[in-house]
Amino acid sequence: MAGVAVAAAMVLPLAHLVLRASEAADPLALATSARAARALGRTVALATIVTAVATVFGVVLAWVLERTDVPARGLLGVVVALPLVIPTYVLAVAMKDAFGPSPLLVELPGVVGFRGAAAALTLATYPYVFLVARATLASVDPALEEAARSLGDRPRRVFRRVVLPLLRPAAAAGGLLVFLYTLSDFGAVSILRYETLTVAVFGEYRTSFNRARPAVLGVLLVATTLVAVAVERRARGRAAATRAVAGTRPSPRRGLGRWRWPVTAAVLAVPVAGAGVPLGVLVYRASLGSGSGERVEVLARAAVSSVGLSAAAAVVAVVLAVPVGVLVVRFRSRFATFVEAAATAGYALPGLVVALALVFFAARHVPLVYQTPALVVFAYVIRFYPEALGAARASIAAVDPALEDVARTLGDTPVRALRRVTVPLVRGGLAAGGALVFLTAMKELPATLLLRPAGMDTLATRVWTGAAEGFYRQAAPAALLLVLVSALALGPALRLAHRGGAE
Amino acid sequence: MSKSLRATLAAVVAAAGLVACTDGGSGDLVVYSGRNENLIRPVLERFAEDTGVDIRVRYGDTAELAATILEEGANTRADVFFSQDAGALAALAAKGRLAKLPGDVAEPVDARFRDPGGRWVGVTGRARVIAYNTNRVPAGELPESIFELTDPKWRDRIGFPPTNASFVAYVSALTEQVGRDRTKAWLEGLEANGAKTFDNNIVTLEAVADGEVDIGLVNHYYLYNEFEQRPGSPVANHYPGQEAGGEGTFVNVAGLGILEGTDRAADARRLVAYLLGRDAQEYFRTETAEYPLAAGVEPLPELPALAELRVIDVPLHRLGRDLEASLDLLKEVGLT
């Protein structure tokens, strides 16, 4: 079964982590030491705050775009999701430059440290919640809300009693992604100097050559992940299936009246902070820079590699997300829970940990794939699969299983029923998941650096190469191209997601 | 799955397959380089042209590449490891991953800057200096010894990058030389003196140039990088510990090791010999302003000659083992 295969693949880095951790001199002492506890505390605090704020942003923005009459909804949808194309390390450098000591714009105290890290990660991750929530809202049967209105509920009550419960699975899934992404992030927290477990792990690998100690910290990260996954399952609730219906009329939208433009401005303020400011700083500095710049053909080849690898990862992740998503939603078994936890546990692992695990397995046991693009794609899928799974799950949960039953009574096999009935209905959600995987893979750095074939670059690795000599001079052209290519892909990807959902 | 999805899948897999064709021939000499690509590629390309040896390089972070070599085990693809500092080389040697360098290829380099066991050799030297803002620190005020930096007159004026591998190696060298307690007291003194921490050497030096801090603890060659980017920048290097009886300046090396079990030993040896030869050493002299360690090439005239420089007398090969302890020390003091 596909579920077993996926679980096995995802467990690889975890197995390797445990293997290395067991080599430590005194793993238990290290794991429970004051230092580890401090790092863990900081990590959880950061992740919790970021998740709370990002979920609120994402849900509110999704509701505004799907249930009110703000203008230019298509374009606005793309703009709101724009921070997805900015790597967190670029966002952090720009924030520090614009608002930190010796600021370009204005000094905001606390940019370096917890507040800056929380702000950067919130701005970078709210689109995850936004996209999944929006896909759900777009695919839901409007009859529910209309019925509530016709029975006399005022709009606010309709929101609370009908819309919010519908959104619970999506908010929970998106929130989990945000939480785990924050756990694994290295770029923003290292630049804005807030030491989380991941920073400690990287620091250990970089300054000592003992692979056991960072592995013990990595196990702490995995433990945190499992707790988060369990919390999310409770938060998801027994999502009573709502009805997603194909070819339906659009959901009712609230007229905003004189609030239309202020709300639009408020909506725009968020992506302006998350994407506009870093882009502006990047362009400004790059235009001043006196660097020798990158050769065009190097950048072009890197762009092709980036897009090819990321697209492959997105497709594979989505294809694998469907069977596991169905398994988890339709068959509430222990096995399903295990598969889901295994698949999700890898998301919080720093890319370096995943990379070294794959180096170990591939170099020693499967040399054929070692240092090939296929292994890089595999690493991306392991790292980002939960994005596709979360989106798939939320969408599948919104489909009434009765529809498939109908198809089966009419003679379809279960797989065919799945394919002909459910898949078209969840296409929007799947496309949203695929878009997320694509965009996250474009930005990925640590695993790409270690696993790529010699001579292959992605745009992210070019940014890294240039940044060694001073970020703006060499790294800016690659960073701008990375953002541009991702942004170009964002538009069509979102349209695909939205159209699929609204059908 | 739907037809269009299948078609997309096929197309993408095909594209990925095309991308796979970047893999070069298996007969190439494979180098894992922790040194930056923009810096190293020209000299490696010249090597390939001059000798006809096909070379393939993977660039990465020195420590991550060392960890990769260890994970790869005996199946490692690497033939040569070009490390940014001696610590990684010493660590790999200690784990038996480096082969003994053949013959006399390492002879030209001073014994202080290569492995006594003959398993790695330094290619260029990097000195740990006190960089200072010439507008804000008159030369007469400069501390002779870094231990003076705990004096209150330096309060809030110091910057340094504690997480940088070079700095951790520096702490290891100090520990070897003056003992753990004195090193710890120094670090605690720095912290108590409000020393600002930065991510890396470049940012530290920029802060000195901008006047955000008055002095910075960095590697010597970043100064020349800064001059290239911002000519006339008000910064200069001061080499600490040079007074009689002083602790000396710490000189680390970027170096090479040949991987145990490589099947390209002859070509690997040629690469080592080339990088220690006149052409390459002069390239490093001018391109990076580091200290050439071989071929009788003198460093840039602005730099004090190595022969005259009082150098911290600590065997570099011991630093690999000490790095972990130094990391712990930094954490204890709360700097990382």
Mean pLDDT of the A228-240 span: 73
CB < 8 Å to B20, chain A: 372-374, 453
Task: Classify residue B308: in a domain, yes or no.
Answer: no
Task: Classify residue B309: in a domain, yes or no.
Answer: no
Helix (H, G, I), strand (E, B) or coil at A471: helix
**Would you place residue A49 in the very low, low, confident or very high pLDDT band (cuts 50, 70, 90)?**
very high
Shortest Cα distance from A223 to chain B (angstroms)? 23
Q: Decide if pLDDT at A242 tops 70.
A: no
Q: What percent of chain A has pLDDT over 70?
A: 91
Other beta carbons within 10 Å of A241? 16
Q: Is there a contact between B9 and A465 if contact means CB atoms under 8 Å apart?
A: no
Confidence at residue A448, expressed as pLDDT on a 0 to 100 scale: 92
Which carries the bigger pLDDT value, residue A239 or residue A224?
A: A224
Interface test with A, best of B9, B44, B62, B72 (most A CBs within 10 A): B72
Instruction: Tell me: do B118 and B7 sit in the same domain.
Output: yes
Number of H-type helices and E-type strands within chain A = 24, 0
Please state, rounded to an integer, the average pLDDT across all residues of chain A.
81
Q: Which member of A101, A195, A474 has the closest CB to residue B38?
A: A474
Alpha helices, DSSP H, located in B276-318: 278-287
In single-letter form, the type of residue at position B295 comes to: A
CA distance A311 to A297: 21
* Closest-approach residue (CA) in chain A for B205: A470
Helical (H) or strand (E) element with B58: strand B55-59
Q: Decide if pLDDT at A490 tops 90.
A: no
Q: Is there a contact between B72 and A474 if contact means CB atoms under 8 Å apart?
A: no
Instruction: Tell me: do B43 and B89 sit in the same domain.
Output: yes
Give Cα separations from A116 to A58, A120, A304 (angstroms): 19, 6, 33
The two tokens of residue B117 are 């066991």
Instruction: Tell me: do B97 and B240 sit in the same domain.
Output: no
CB < 8 Å to B2, chain A: 419, 423-424
| Cβ-based burial of B140 (10 A; exposed 0-12, middle 13-18, buried ≥19) | exposed
In single-letter form, the type of residue at position B69 comes to: I
CA distance B329 to B335: 9
Other beta carbons within 10 Å of A456? 22
The two tokens of residue A393 are 């799950």
Confidence at residue B1, expressed as pLDDT on a 0 to 100 scale: 45
CB < 8 Å to A450, chain B: 60, 64-65, 68
Q: What is the DSSP letter of A259?
A: G
Q: Are A235 and A51 in contact (CB under 8 A)?
A: no
Residue at token pair 């889901």: A340
Task: Classify residue B314: in a domain, yes or no.
Answer: no
CB < 8 Å to A364, chain B: 72-73, 75
- Residues 6+ away with beta carbon under 8 Å from A155: A149, A254
Confidence at residue A450, expressed as pLDDT on a 0 to 100 scale: 87
Give the N- to C-terminal CA distance of chain B in Å, as an integer.
51
Q: Are A467 and A474 in contact (CB under 8 A)?
A: yes
Q: Is there a contact between B20 and A373 if contact means CB atoms under 8 Å apart?
A: yes
Biggest CA–CA distance in chain B, Å, is 81
Q: Which of A108-112, A179-183, A293-297, A425-429 has the highest mean pLDDT?
A: A179-183
**Would you place residue A470 in the very low, low, confident or very high pLDDT band (cuts 50, 70, 90)?**
low
**Region of residue B110 (left: phi > 0; alpha: psi -120 to 50; beta: else):** beta
Q: Decide if pLDDT at A45 tops 90.
A: yes
Q: Decide if pLDDT at A92 tops 80.
A: yes
Other beta carbons within 10 Å of B269? 16
Instruction: Tell me: do B116 and B233 sit in the same domain.
Output: no
Task: Classify residue B102: in a domain, yes or no.
Answer: yes
Q: Decide if pLDDT at A28 tops 80.
A: no
Task: Classify residue B312: in a domain, yes or no.
Answer: no
Q: Is there a contact between A209 and B9 if contact means CB atoms under 8 Å apart?
A: no
Confidence at residue A119, expressed as pLDDT on a 0 to 100 scale: 92
Q: Does B15 touch chain A (CB under 8 A)?
A: yes
Instruction: Tell me: do B235 and B182 sit in the same domain.
Output: yes
Shortest Cα distance from B301 to chain A (angstroms)? 23
Determine the structural domain holding residue B87 and report its residue range.
3-124+253-303
Q: Are B47 and B29 in contact (CB under 8 A)?
A: no
Q: Are A345 and A184 in contact (CB under 8 A)?
A: no
CA distance A453 to A134: 38
Q: Is there a contact between A205 and B23 if contact means CB atoms under 8 Å apart?
A: no
Give the N- to C-terminal CA distance of chain A in Å, as an integer.
31
Q: Is there a contact between A363 and B72 if contact means CB atoms under 8 Å apart?
A: yes
CA distance A480 to A278: 10
- For β-strands B29-33 and B55-59, DSSP reports them as parallel
Instruction: Tell me: do B79 and B16 sit in the same domain.
Output: yes
Distance of CA A278 to the CA centre of its chain: 19
Q: Are A456 and B22 in contact (CB under 8 A)?
A: yes
CA distance B263 to B271: 14
Instruction: Tell me: do B33 and B48 sit in the same domain.
Output: yes
Domains of chain A: 2-239+261-268+289-502 (1.10.3720.10)
Confidence at residue A239, expressed as pLDDT on a 0 to 100 scale: 53
Q: Does B184 touch chain A (CB under 8 A)?
A: no
pTM value? 0.81
CA distance A450 to A445: 9
CA distance A133 to B3: 28
Closest of B32, B114, B41, B19 to residue B81, by C-alpha: B32
Domain count, chain B: 2
Q: Is there a contact between A308 and B16 if contact means CB atoms under 8 Å apart?
A: yes
Q: Does B45 touch chain A (CB under 8 A)?
A: no
CB < 8 Å to A305, chain B: 19, 22
CB < 8 Å to A449, chain B: 59-61, 64
CB < 8 Å to B23, chain A: 371-372, 453
Q: Are A289 and A470 in contact (CB under 8 A)?
A: no
CB-hemisphere CA count at 13 Å for B169?
33
| pLDDT by position in tens, chain B (length 336) | 455 555 556 656 655 554 454 444 567 899 999 988 888 889 999 999 999 999 999 998 888 888 889 888 888 889 999 998 888 898 889 889 999 998 788 888 888 888 989 999 999 999 999 999 999 998 888 888 889 899 999 999 999 988 777 888 888 888 888 889 999 999 999 989 988 888 778 888 988 988 889 999 999 988 988 887 778 889 999 998 888 878 788 999 999 999 998 888 899 999 999 999 999 999 999 888 899 998 788 888 888 888 888 888 888 888 766 677 787 788 788 776
Q: Is there a contact between A209 and B15 if contact means CB atoms under 8 Å apart?
A: no
Q: Report the complex ipTM.
A: 0.76
Shortest Cα distance from A333 to chain B (angstroms)? 25
Confidence at residue A257, expressed as pLDDT on a 0 to 100 scale: 78
Q: Are A429 and A395 in contact (CB under 8 A)?
A: yes
Confidence at residue B30, expressed as pLDDT on a 0 to 100 scale: 93
Interface test with A, best of B59, B219, B328 (most A CBs within 10 A): B59
Give Cα separations from B220 to B35, B148, B303 (angstroms): 16, 20, 9
Interface test with A, best of B3, B8, B12 (most A CBs within 10 A): B12
Q: Is there a contact between B320 and A466 if contact means CB atoms under 8 Å apart?
A: no
Confidence at residue A316, expressed as pLDDT on a 0 to 100 scale: 92
Sign of CA dihedral A359, A360, A362, A363: positive
Q: Helix B165-178 to helix A197-207 angle, to the nearest 10 degrees? A: 60
Confidence at residue B7, expressed as pLDDT on a 0 to 100 scale: 55
Give Cα separations from A265 to A106, A225, A391 (angstroms): 22, 36, 28
Distance of CA B312 to the CA centre of its chain: 17
Biggest CA–CA distance in chain A, Å, is 70
Shortest Cα distance from B106 to chain A (angstroms)? 25
Q: Are A324 and A344 in contact (CB under 8 A)?
A: no
CA distance A306 to A485: 9
Instruction: Tell me: do B46 and B145 sit in the same domain.
Output: no
Instruction: Specify the length of chain A in residues.
Output: 503
Interface test with B, best of A208, A380, A415, A456 (most B CBs within 10 A): A208
Number of H-type helices and E-type strands within chain B = 11, 10
- Residues 6+ away with beta carbon under 8 Å from A234: none
Write the CATH number for B88: 3.40.190.10
**Would you place residue A58 in the very low, low, confident or very high pLDDT band (cuts 50, 70, 90)?**
very high
Closest of A405, A372, A391 to residue A435, by C-alpha: A391
Q: Does B10 touch chain A (CB under 8 A)?
A: no
Instruction: Tell me: do B209 and B261 sit in the same domain.
Output: no
Q: Does B36 touch chain A (CB under 8 A)?
A: yes
CA distance A80 to A462: 27
Interface test with B, best of A205, A207, A422 (most B CBs within 10 A): A207
Residue at token pair 């390390």: A89
Confidence at residue A503, expressed as pLDDT on a 0 to 100 scale: 38
Give Cα separations from A345 to A202, A340, A444, B155 (angstroms): 19, 8, 18, 46
- Residues 6+ away with beta carbon under 8 Å from B314: B172, B173, B176, B177, B250
CA distance A355 to A332: 32
Q: Is there a contact between A308 and B8 if contact means CB atoms under 8 Å apart?
A: no
Residue at token pair 């965009």: A439
Q: Which member of B5, B37, B91 has the closest CB to residue A465?
A: B37
DSSP A27-81: HHHHHTSHHHHHHHHHHHHHHHHHHHHHHHHHHHHHHHHHHB--S-HHHHHHHHH
CB < 8 Å to B206, chain A: 470
Which carries the bigger pLDDT value, residue B271 or residue A174?
A: B271
Helix (H, G, I), strand (E, B) or coil at A460: helix
Mean pLDDT of the A334-361 span: 81
The two tokens of residue A262 are 């202020």
Instruction: Tell me: do B111 and B210 sit in the same domain.
Output: no
Q: Is there a contact between B8 and A315 if contact means CB atoms under 8 Å apart?
A: yes
Confidence at residue A33, expressed as pLDDT on a 0 to 100 scale: 78
The two tokens of residue B200 are 């890396």
Instruction: Tell me: do B113 and B257 sit in the same domain.
Output: yes
Helix (H, G, I), strand (E, B) or coil at B335: coil
B59 forms beta bridges with: B33
Alpha helices, DSSP H, located in chain B: 3-20, 37-51, 62-72, 86-94, 165-178, 180-192, 201-210, 222-229, 265-275, 278-287, 319-333
Q: Which of A136-150, A375-389, B11-25, B257-271 is least confident?
A: B11-25
Torsion of CA B72, B74, B80, B83, to 10 degrees: 50
Shortest Cα distance from B321 to chain A (angstroms)? 8
Interface test with A, best of B19, B333, B335 (most A CBs within 10 A): B19
Distance of CA A87 to the CA centre of its chain: 12
CB-hemisphere CA count at 13 Å for B284?
28
Which carries the bigger pLDDT value, residue B10 or residue A262?
A: A262
* Closest-approach residue (CA) in chain A for B212: A102
Distance of CA B294 to the CA centre of its chain: 17
Q: What is the DSSP letter of B327?
A: H
Instruction: Tell me: do B140 and B170 sit in the same domain.
Output: yes
Confidence at residue A249, expressed as pLDDT on a 0 to 100 scale: 67
The two tokens of residue B58 are 């993977």
Q: Which of A11-20, A172-181, A323-332, B184-193 has the highest mean pLDDT?
A: B184-193
Which carries the bigger pLDDT value, residue B143 or residue A286?
A: B143
Give Cα separations from A243 to A141, A144, A168, A237, A254 (angstroms): 6, 9, 14, 16, 21
Confidence at residue B24, expressed as pLDDT on a 0 to 100 scale: 47
CB < 8 Å to B75, chain A: 363-364, 367
